[in-house]
Amino acid sequence: MAKVATVFGGSGFVGRYIVKRLAKEGWVVRVAVRDTEKAHFLQPYGNVGQIVRMRVPIQDEEAVREAVAGADAVFNAIGLLFEPGGAQTFDEVHVNGPERIARLCAETGVKRLIHVSAIGADKESDSVYARTKALGEEATHKHFPQVSILRPSIVIGPEDGFLNFFAQMARISPALPLIGGGKTRFQPVYVGDVADAAMVCVHESKTKGKTYELGGPQIYTFKQLMEILLKEIRRKRLLLPIPFGVAQVQAGIAELLPKPLLTRDQVTLLKQDNVVQKGALSFKTLGLEPQAIEAILPTYLIRYRPGGRFAKHHLPSDAR
């Protein structure tokens, strides 16, 4: 009989790639999400009946229990970049939710649990995001000591909220902001590589109880990433340094919006580099070779070039 996997956040950015890989391997995949209609696009990833969408608010003890009961493996790919309000808070999604998932996985006899966290998770961090990510890891490990934890750097891919955001901004704005002067260092990693790491963890017993930091092959500053972005979309824009203090004020105003473009907590996060720490277990430990972002960006940023996907190949690189 086919193995069963449950993917919390299966319709999200990272989760959908995990679902796709599981389906390709023949797993029956339970996609545990808040809104099953928004997860409908996942159905073609598998055969009839292979992708099972389940409405599972992570605050609902019985719904979570039903989602994990009988599963061979569970993946938690739920996360927030900002707090939209209501029950969707950092504490609830990053701490209480993972604790509940891990505890019920242990109670129902789940064999493997893979938890997607983030580089920079730190209980002592000034950032609520980073602090709750660390507390979530701790709660998960407490109830399920054999959990495999993945900490990716900033994740890029067709659905990412980082490069797509700035590429869209470059369409209409004469300048792109460099928060803190653009000196923060990142190690961007392709979302497909993160999903591959999750699959290694579910198959390899040696990954049990271990934490892996996942970064791409190169480290870039914020400024360098914006320069690469502009070159890829063939647009010239001013790169405008914004001091952290000014950015905090601007973010405070932006937080009044239903979906803020920037939050004060995100500005706090940008004060720390987001790279794999020396000596950390990594892609290499998993036997994987992450792809360079230069090979990935053309596959989805081309739509932001003048003329979009249908622009002529000879369009000059300095076109506006």
Give the mean pLDDT of the chain: 94
Q: Percentage of the chain with pLDDT > 70?
A: 97
Count of all residues that appear for the chain in the document = 320
Max CA-CA distance within the chain? 61
pLDDT the model gives residue 258: 84
pLDDT bin (cut points 50, 70, 90) of residue 261 is: confident
Ordered alpha helix ranges (H), 118-159: 128-143
Q: Map residue 159 onto helix, strand or coil.
A: coil
> Which one has a higher pLDDT value, 273 or 316?
273
**Domains delineated in the chain:** 4-146 (3.40.50.720)
Give the residue-averaged pLDDT of 228-256: 95
pLDDT the model gives residue 314: 40
Burial (CB count within 10 angstroms: exposed 0-12, middle 13-18, buried 19+), residue 102:
buried
Q: Map residue 269 onto helix, strand or coil.
A: helix
AA identity, residue 147? V
The model's pLDDT over 16-61, given as tens digits with 9 standing for 90+, comes to 999 999 999 999 999 999 999 999 999 999 999 999 999 999 999 9
pLDDT the model gives residue 84: 84
pLDDT the model gives residue 259: 84
pLDDT bin (cut points 50, 70, 90) of residue 312 is: low
Cβ neighbours around 183 below 10 Å, total: 14
The model's pLDDT over 114-149, given as tens digits with 9 standing for 90+, comes to 999 999 999 999 999 999 999 999 999 999 999 999
The end-to-end CA distance of the chain, in Å, is 56
Give the residue-averaged pLDDT of 181-204: 98
